[in-house]
Amino acid sequence: MQPPASASAAPAPAAAHVEALLASYADFPQPGIMFRDLNPVFADAAAFRAIIDDLADQHRGQFDAVAGIEARGFLLAAAVGYAANAAVLAVRKGGKLPGTVLTEEYNLEYGSARLELEVGQLPAGTRVLILDDVLATGGTIAATTRLIERAGYTLTGVGVVLELIDLHGRERLGTAPVHAIVSI
Protein backbone atom coordinates (compact mmCIF):
# COMPACT_ATOMS: atom_id res chain seq x y z
CA MET A 1 0.00 0.00 0.00
CA GLN A 2 1.23 3.49 -0.86
CA PRO A 3 1.93 5.77 2.11
CA PRO A 4 0.03 9.04 2.08
CA ALA A 5 1.82 11.71 0.02
CA SER A 6 2.44 13.83 3.11
CA ALA A 7 4.32 10.99 4.83
CA SER A 8 6.69 10.32 1.92
CA ALA A 9 7.34 13.92 0.81
CA ALA A 10 10.62 15.45 1.95
CA PRO A 11 10.14 18.56 4.09
CA ALA A 12 10.17 21.67 1.95
CA PRO A 13 13.47 23.52 2.31
CA ALA A 14 13.43 26.80 4.15
CA ALA A 15 13.91 28.79 0.95
CA ALA A 16 10.77 27.32 -0.60
CA HIS A 17 8.73 28.33 2.46
CA VAL A 18 10.10 31.86 2.35
CA GLU A 19 9.51 32.26 -1.38
CA ALA A 20 5.94 30.99 -1.01
CA LEU A 21 4.98 33.17 1.94
CA LEU A 22 7.01 36.39 1.63
CA ALA A 23 4.77 39.46 1.19
CA SER A 24 5.94 42.65 -0.53
CA TYR A 25 4.47 46.12 -0.11
CA ALA A 26 5.41 48.93 -2.49
CA ASP A 27 5.96 52.41 -1.04
CA PHE A 28 5.96 51.34 2.64
CA PRO A 29 6.84 52.89 5.05
CA GLN A 30 7.63 55.65 2.56
CA PRO A 31 7.61 56.20 -1.23
CA GLY A 32 10.30 54.28 -3.09
CA ILE A 33 10.71 51.49 -0.51
CA MET A 34 9.61 47.94 -1.36
CA PHE A 35 8.91 46.58 2.11
CA ARG A 36 9.45 42.83 2.52
CA ASP A 37 7.18 41.39 5.19
CA LEU A 38 8.32 38.10 6.72
CA ASN A 39 5.50 37.90 9.27
CA PRO A 40 3.61 35.38 7.08
CA VAL A 41 6.69 33.14 7.32
CA PHE A 42 6.79 33.47 11.11
CA ALA A 43 3.04 32.83 11.25
CA ASP A 44 3.36 29.44 9.52
CA ALA A 45 4.55 26.78 11.97
CA ALA A 46 6.27 24.57 9.37
CA ALA A 47 7.92 27.56 7.71
CA PHE A 48 9.12 28.98 11.00
CA ARG A 49 10.59 25.65 12.07
CA ALA A 50 12.31 25.31 8.67
CA ILE A 51 13.96 28.73 8.82
CA ILE A 52 15.12 28.25 12.41
CA ASP A 53 16.60 24.83 11.60
CA ASP A 54 18.26 26.27 8.49
CA LEU A 55 19.85 29.19 10.37
CA ALA A 56 21.06 26.90 13.18
CA ASP A 57 22.38 24.22 10.80
CA GLN A 58 24.30 26.61 8.53
CA HIS A 59 26.54 27.69 11.40
CA ARG A 60 26.29 24.61 13.62
CA GLY A 61 29.26 24.17 15.95
CA GLN A 62 30.57 27.64 15.14
CA PHE A 63 28.81 29.78 17.75
CA ASP A 64 28.23 29.86 21.51
CA ALA A 65 25.78 32.77 21.45
CA VAL A 66 23.31 34.36 19.06
CA ALA A 67 22.80 38.12 18.88
CA GLY A 68 19.31 39.13 17.74
CA ILE A 69 18.67 42.64 16.46
CA GLU A 70 15.51 44.40 17.69
CA ALA A 71 12.83 43.59 16.91
CA ARG A 72 12.40 40.83 14.33
CA GLY A 73 15.89 39.48 15.00
CA PHE A 74 14.71 38.67 18.53
CA LEU A 75 12.23 36.13 17.16
CA LEU A 76 15.01 34.36 15.28
CA ALA A 77 17.65 34.57 18.02
CA ALA A 78 15.39 33.18 20.74
CA ALA A 79 14.45 30.16 18.66
CA VAL A 80 17.93 29.49 17.24
CA GLY A 81 19.45 29.91 20.70
CA TYR A 82 17.05 27.31 22.07
CA ALA A 83 17.59 24.93 19.13
CA ALA A 84 21.38 25.18 19.31
CA ASN A 85 21.69 25.38 23.11
CA ALA A 86 23.33 28.80 22.72
CA ALA A 87 23.19 31.97 24.79
CA VAL A 88 21.06 34.86 23.52
CA LEU A 89 22.14 38.50 23.32
CA ALA A 90 19.60 41.26 22.67
CA VAL A 91 20.89 44.12 20.51
CA ARG A 92 18.43 46.90 21.30
CA LYS A 93 17.42 50.22 19.84
CA GLY A 94 18.94 53.22 21.58
CA GLY A 95 17.88 54.23 25.08
CA LYS A 96 16.31 50.96 26.22
CA LEU A 97 19.18 49.24 28.04
CA PRO A 98 20.31 49.99 31.61
CA GLY A 99 23.82 50.02 33.03
CA THR A 100 26.96 50.28 30.94
CA VAL A 101 26.14 50.01 27.26
CA LEU A 102 28.02 50.25 23.98
CA THR A 103 26.40 52.44 21.31
CA GLU A 104 26.65 52.54 17.51
CA GLU A 105 24.94 55.10 15.24
CA TYR A 106 24.23 54.10 11.64
CA ASN A 107 22.20 54.93 8.53
CA LEU A 108 19.20 52.90 7.36
CA GLU A 109 17.70 52.38 3.90
CA TYR A 110 15.25 54.94 5.28
CA GLY A 111 16.38 57.22 8.16
CA SER A 112 19.06 56.70 10.82
CA ALA A 113 19.17 54.76 14.05
CA ARG A 114 21.16 53.77 17.11
CA LEU A 115 21.81 50.27 18.46
CA GLU A 116 23.11 49.29 21.88
CA LEU A 117 24.51 46.25 23.69
CA GLU A 118 25.08 45.75 27.40
CA VAL A 119 28.70 45.02 28.29
CA GLY A 120 30.02 42.07 30.29
CA GLN A 121 27.25 39.57 29.67
CA LEU A 122 29.51 36.82 28.32
CA PRO A 123 33.25 36.05 28.51
CA ALA A 124 35.62 37.72 26.06
CA GLY A 125 36.13 35.60 22.96
CA THR A 126 32.64 34.11 23.01
CA ARG A 127 31.74 33.09 19.43
CA VAL A 128 28.70 35.03 18.28
CA LEU A 129 26.27 34.52 15.39
CA ILE A 130 24.32 37.67 14.43
CA LEU A 131 20.72 37.11 13.29
CA ASP A 132 18.23 39.45 11.64
CA ASP A 133 15.28 39.12 9.29
CA VAL A 134 16.39 41.26 6.33
CA LEU A 135 19.82 42.33 5.07
CA ALA A 136 19.15 45.52 3.11
CA THR A 137 21.91 48.19 2.98
CA GLY A 138 23.84 46.33 5.67
CA GLY A 139 24.03 49.30 8.04
CA THR A 140 22.17 47.55 10.83
CA ILE A 141 24.26 44.39 10.77
CA ALA A 142 27.50 46.36 10.27
CA ALA A 143 26.67 48.39 13.41
CA THR A 144 25.90 45.18 15.28
CA THR A 145 29.20 43.71 14.12
CA ARG A 146 31.00 46.68 15.67
CA LEU A 147 29.09 46.25 18.94
CA ILE A 148 29.97 42.54 19.10
CA GLU A 149 33.65 43.24 18.45
CA ARG A 150 33.82 46.21 20.85
CA ALA A 151 32.29 43.98 23.55
CA GLY A 152 35.23 41.58 23.11
CA TYR A 153 33.33 38.78 21.42
CA THR A 154 34.34 36.95 18.24
CA LEU A 155 31.94 37.26 15.31
CA THR A 156 31.77 33.88 13.57
CA GLY A 157 28.77 34.33 11.29
CA VAL A 158 25.75 36.29 10.14
CA GLY A 159 22.39 34.74 9.30
CA VAL A 160 19.38 36.40 7.69
CA VAL A 161 16.17 35.11 6.23
CA LEU A 162 16.20 37.50 3.27
CA GLU A 163 18.95 39.44 1.49
CA LEU A 164 18.11 42.30 -0.89
CA ILE A 165 21.02 41.93 -3.28
CA ASP A 166 20.54 45.20 -5.19
CA LEU A 167 21.42 47.10 -2.00
CA HIS A 168 24.84 45.37 -1.72
CA GLY A 169 24.64 45.10 2.08
CA ARG A 170 26.93 42.07 2.12
CA GLU A 171 29.79 44.28 0.88
CA ARG A 172 29.59 46.41 4.03
CA LEU A 173 30.12 43.43 6.31
CA GLY A 174 33.47 41.97 7.30
CA THR A 175 34.95 38.56 6.65
CA ALA A 176 32.57 36.44 8.77
CA PRO A 177 30.43 34.14 6.59
CA VAL A 178 27.01 35.57 5.72
CA HIS A 179 24.17 33.11 5.12
CA ALA A 180 20.89 34.25 3.57
CA ILE A 181 18.09 31.72 3.18
CA VAL A 182 16.78 33.67 0.17
CA SER A 183 18.52 36.38 -1.89
CA ILE A 184 16.37 38.48 -4.21
Positions in the binding site for ligand AMP (CB under 6 A): 33-36, 69, 72, 108-109, 132-140, 169
Task: Between 11 and 43, name the residue whose CB sits nearer to ligand AMP.
Answer: 43
* Strand-pair category, 34-37 with 23-26: antiparallel
149 flagged as catalytic: no
CB of 43 to ligand AMP, least distance (A): 16
CB of 140 to ligand AMP, least distance (A): 3
CB of 73 to ligand AMP, least distance (A): 7
Q: Which of 19, 49, 72, 149 is catalytic?
A: 72
Beta strands in the chain (DSSP E): 23-26, 34-37, 65-69, 87-93, 101-107, 112-118, 127-135, 154-163, 178-183
Q: Which of 109, 116, 146, 163 is catalytic?
A: 109
109 flagged as catalytic: yes
Task: Between 60 and 96, name the residue whose CB sits nearer to ligand AMP.
Answer: 96
CA dist 117 and 125 (Å) reads 16
CB of 7 to ligand AMP, least distance (A): 36
Q: Please work out, in degrees rounded to the nearest 5, the angle formed at the alpha carbon of residue 12 by the alpha carbons of 129 and 158.
A: 15
Query: Is the Cβ–Cβ distance between 63 and 128 less than 8 Å?
Result: yes
Task: Between 36 and 92, name the residue whose CB sits nearer to ligand AMP.
Answer: 36
Structural Rg of the chain based on CA atoms: 17
